[in-house]
Chain A
Amino acid sequence: MSVTASSSQPERKELSAKVTLAMVLASESVFFGMLVMSYLYLRNGQAGWPYLQHSLSRLIVPGLNSLVLVLSAWVVRRAQVAIQGGSTGGLNRNLWVAWLLGLLFIAGQVFEFQRSGMYPSDPAFGGVFFALMGFHALHVLAGMLVLALIGLRAWLGDFDSQDHIAVDGGSWFWYYVTAVWLVLFAVLYLV
């Protein structure tokens, strides 16, 4: 009697998905970590670094943006809870709201970039600031794509209370993107 060791059984699939997502997030964490370290390394060598926290007014827009993103993470959590309870409608509604909040965040970022009067070609600070914010924004956009795809699959009836690996995966990615933002916000604006 042999047990087929295939990756098609649901528990196995879930574990595979978790391990895969963990590896992807680990990789991304090293990436953002290296960018943050580079930021600190460059900042350490400079006089005249345009510290952003020197004026409180600078914090308003990114502060609001942080709230938007944290709110969206909460909404995604609600979506996750909804499908755990079997409610595809709840899943869908919350996904939509989260997606819109993500869009609002992106708009806020664009506004902040223009308002700052900085360019990537500004000495040192410009490059690393825009690299951090830019790659994070790309991850938010990727997350929005993921949420949209999950929403589409949900609408087509793919998920139920037992089987919703993709929702979990996408939710975790969104929480991750939010957490990274909070770190970046602290490093760039508060420290």
Chain B
Amino acid sequence: MKRSARTLLLLAALFTLTGCAGAPTFITPNSSISADQAGLYRILIVLSILVFVFVEAWLVYNIVRFRRRDGDDSLPKQVYGNNRLEIIWTALPLLLVGVLFWLTVSTVNAVSAPAPLADDLNLQVVGHQWWWEFDYPDLGILTANELHVPAGKTVQITLFSNDVIHSFWIPQLSGKVDVIPGQTNHLWFKADSLGEFHGQCAEFCGLNHANMRIKVVVESQADFEAWVANQQKPPAAPQTDLQKKGYDLVTGGICNSCHTLGEHKSEKESNPQTPAGPGQAGIELAARGVGPNLTHLMSRSVFAGATYELNETNLHRWLQDNQSMKPGNDMSVNPSASDIEALIAYLTTLK
């Protein structure tokens, strides 16, 4: 059919031009939500092209056909309007937008969250300036920047903000939802295929809004369970002297004034819902660290708002001069060179 051929052509063009493997776009969806949105968008594009072509064709026709020829000083017929025509070109667009509205309603319904089931994966996402925190309350896991989910399972997410308004957006998995202080928002998705997907904060939130990215790893149920098991382990104990020195530094006030290390009890155990006072979201956000949980730092492949690859070189540079890597971020520590050696020695054991 002509329609799908045209849109396939469009997609193909985009694919080839962008080396699409990396592009976080809903037109290569990995969930039913994004697929529904992409399908609807395709219809919109086709309709828009039709309207656009109609308008521009009429415009071009006018320009070509009714150009005043040289030497022609005559006056055209003075037409003031045509009631029937005007009614038609008011009614037809009304009809068209009516159709679009009906499509909107049905798609809103189609992508709305299913009723929560016991089987779902529950996730709490907290937006901080300028990193994303992921809390699996039923599993007792607290991590950051890199999100692991199993394919084919419904993920129900509650969104909180620790400070200003952010927006959680992973295009290939779902539309964006704002993360608003004082308000609990909800998001859901069910990832279809395995793979790594990119997301970013989509509401301007200050200096490092651009550096508040998300890496989503969709894995098989088995791999996910292995990841969970690892995340649930306590942090590695330091073995060598250098590691012990690093451990002391981490827990002695330099790091743990902002970062957390160690067991994170499941939400049910440690944080009974506080009654909603003015402005409280019902969750004791103050109990969270200002910085990401470090317990399994090295199990992640990205850090610093998922803007840098997590390896020893980058970690070293971060500890030396994090402001040059992410200017204006809230980490204002200046460990000495030998302290950095010790910290690296210990941190790299936190797999």
Contacts and interface: CB of A to CB of B under 8 A. Distances in A.
A and B touch in the complex (CB under 8 A): yes
Given A45-B182, A46-B278, A48-B278, 7 more contacts: A47-B276, A47-B277, A47-B278, A48-B277, A123-B278, A123-B279, A124-B278
Contacts of A124: 278
Contacts of A48: 277-278
Interface string B163-206: 00000000000000000001000000000000000000000000
A46 B280 CA distance: 10
10 contacts: A45-B182, A46-B278, A47-B276, A47-B277, A47-B278, A48-B277, A48-B278, A123-B278, A123-B279, A124-B278
Contacts of B182: 45
Chain B interface size, as a band, is: under 10
Contacts of A45: 182
B323 to A, nearest CB: 34
A123 B279 CA distance: 10
A144 B320 CA distance: 65
Interface of A: 45-48, 123-124
Nearest to B182: A45
A46 B182 CA distance: 11
Nearest to B183: A45
Nearest to A42: B278
B278 to A, nearest CB: 5
Q: Which of B182, B276, B277, B278 has the most CB of A within 10 A?
A: B278
A47 B279 CA distance: 10
A48 B279 CA distance: 11
A124 B277 CA distance: 12
Contacts of B277: 47-48
A142 to B, nearest CB: 34
Nearest to A48: B278
Interface string B259-297: 000000000000000001111000000000000000000
Nearest to B280: A47
A47 B276 CA distance: 8
A45 B181 CA distance: 13
Contacts of B276: 47
A44 to B, nearest CB: 13
B155 to A, nearest CB: 28
